[in-house]
Amino acid sequence: MEQDNGIEIELEHISKKYGEVTAVKDSTFSIGHGEFFSLLGPSGCGKTTTLRMISGLEDPTSGRIRLAGEDVTYTPPHKRNVNTVFQDYALFPHMNIWKNIYFPLKMKGIGAEDAKPRIEEILRVVEMEGFGERLPQQLSGGQRQRIALARSLVGRPRALLLDEPLGALDFKLRTTMQTVLKDIQKSVDISFIYVTHDQTEAITMSDRICVMKDGLVHQIGSPSEIYNNPETYFVAGFIGEMNFMDGTVAGTGAGSVTVDAGGLALRINTGKSFLAGDSVSVGIRPEKVFTECPSEGCNAVTGKVARVVFKGSNYDITLMTGGGEIRYQVPVVNYRPKNEGESVSLYFKPEDALAFKDGDDEG
């Protein structure tokens, strides 16, 4: 049954238990056709278990899974039109590249001559033309990853599932392959569901990100939404860098709240509801902290320099305040050397800050 609403994969109240341990808790979301969708979170958060349920390698304890509108909750993996790419490539070492890519087509009964145009096409897509006669061990890690992708894509699946496929690569090659993967995904126009614990990787490649912790979906949104408007304390701290200062709500107003953070009175513009006396954490990104007030009504934070770290194009400076540490960045060209213990005043706008009530991450 074909979808008519652009949705490729649907998970409806999916849960997975292993004995007394719940790996995935009541997850509901959908993935669009041609979307690059990342499952992001720390080890043990349930992202790989979710991927394995989509692939059919694990059965959910409860809930439904649909692929292109068809219920495949308990359909065997080989009868689902999805393929999986793993970190270890899983190429056959005794077969050359052409035969590795041909293998899944051969299993479907497609003859070598009929398969040849498809294989040539997919080798062009992954930019590996001319490598068909080589063995996997004659290729670099990045080249083997491209061939693993080619083999998974040659059968034209509805979706490609990728379980931390770049984890075995060094940093520079991993960064290069992020661009390659995104370009390949655009060219083949199928859904990619990508599992990673690397938030930079997810932000770089994804159309949308599903952030998970302890089996719970904390937030689903575009990289910009996740980064700029995190819904929970966990998401705020896991995605990018975030300063947190603990405090207590001293007052509330229309669309704003005032927090006492160790003697600092901080005003935060927020649509969330708080009560006076609530324990909260105030979050502010380092790049949104300034050494001069950028507009009227800024929050002022005074403290003493605790650390200065050179990072090439800028200095990363940590200030110790009454509410906790706060980090900010200064371009090297604008930097006046600071000594540890020196007093500094910093500023940030109320609309740039976030407030999280204690316990908002509990599921």
pLDDT of residue 4: 46
Residue 186 reports pLDDT greater than 70: yes
Q: Mean of the pLDDT values across residues 71-95?
A: 91
Instruction: Note the pLDDT tens digit of each residue in 156-181.
Output: 999 999 999 888 788 888 888 899 89
Would you say the pTM of this structure is higher than 0.75?
Answer: yes
Cα separation, 169 vs 160, in Å, equals: 20
1 lies in a domain?
Answer: no
Residues 117 and 143 in one domain: yes
pLDDT value at position 120?
Answer: 94
Between 25 and 170, where is the model more confident? 25
Average pLDDT over residues 199-227: 96
Please give the average per-residue pLDDT across 26-53, as a whole number: 97
Whole-number Å distance between alpha carbons of 230 and 226? 5
Query: Is the residue at 296 inside a domain?
Result: yes
Q: Are residues 227 and 257 in the same domain?
A: no
Q: Is residue 309 part of a domain?
A: yes
Pairing of strands 208-213, 216-221: antiparallel
Does residue 92 form part of some domain? yes
Dihedral Cα 41, 45, 51, 56, nearest 10 deg: 180
Same domain, 231 and 252: no
- Do 94 and 193 sit in the same domain of this protein? yes
CATH of the domain at 206: 3.40.50.300
Q: Is the same domain home to 303 and 353?
A: yes
Q: Residue 1's pLDDT is what?
A: 35
For the stretch 345-360, pLDDT in tens is 999 999 999 999 986 7
Average pLDDT over residues 60-68: 97
- Please check whether residue 362 lies inside any domain of the structure: no
Which of 203, 235, 267 delimits the end of a domain? 235
Asked if 82 and 151 sit in the same domain, the reply is yes
pLDDT of residue 3: 43
Query: Is 284 part of a structural domain of the chain?
Result: yes
Q: Which amino acid is at 75?
A: T
Last residue of a domain, one of 210, 235, 260: 235
- Residue 2: inside a domain, yes or no? no
Is residue 347 located within the same domain as residue 269? yes
Q: Which residues on neighbouring strands pair with residue 256, listed in sequence order?
A: 253, 269
Q: Residue 88 pLDDT more than 90?
A: no
pLDDT digits (tens, 9 = 90+) for 221-233: 999 999 999 999 9
Domain annotation covers residue 326:
yes
The arithmetic mean of pLDDT across residues 310-316, rounded, is 89
Domain containing residue 318: 241-357
Q: Answer yes or no: is pLDDT of 363 > 80.
A: no
Tell me: do 134 and 31 sit in the same domain.
Answer: yes
CA atoms within 13 A on the CB side of 278: 20
Domain boundary among 214, 235, 256: 235
Same domain, 230 and 292: no
Other C-beta atoms within 10 Å of 309: how many?
11
Do 37 and 181 lie in a common domain?
yes
What CATH code is carried by the domain that includes residue 329? 2.40.50.140
Contact predicate 248/254, CB 8 Å: no
Same domain, 86 and 126: yes
Is residue 211 located within the same domain as residue 263? no
Confidence (pLDDT) at 2:
42
Give the chain's domain count: 2
Asked if 15 and 24 count as a contact pair (C-beta separation under 8 A), the reply is yes
Joined together, the tokens standing for residue 145 give: 């990853």
| pLDDT the model gives residue 294 | 81
Q: Cα torsion at 335, 340, 342, 344 (round to 10°)?
A: 60
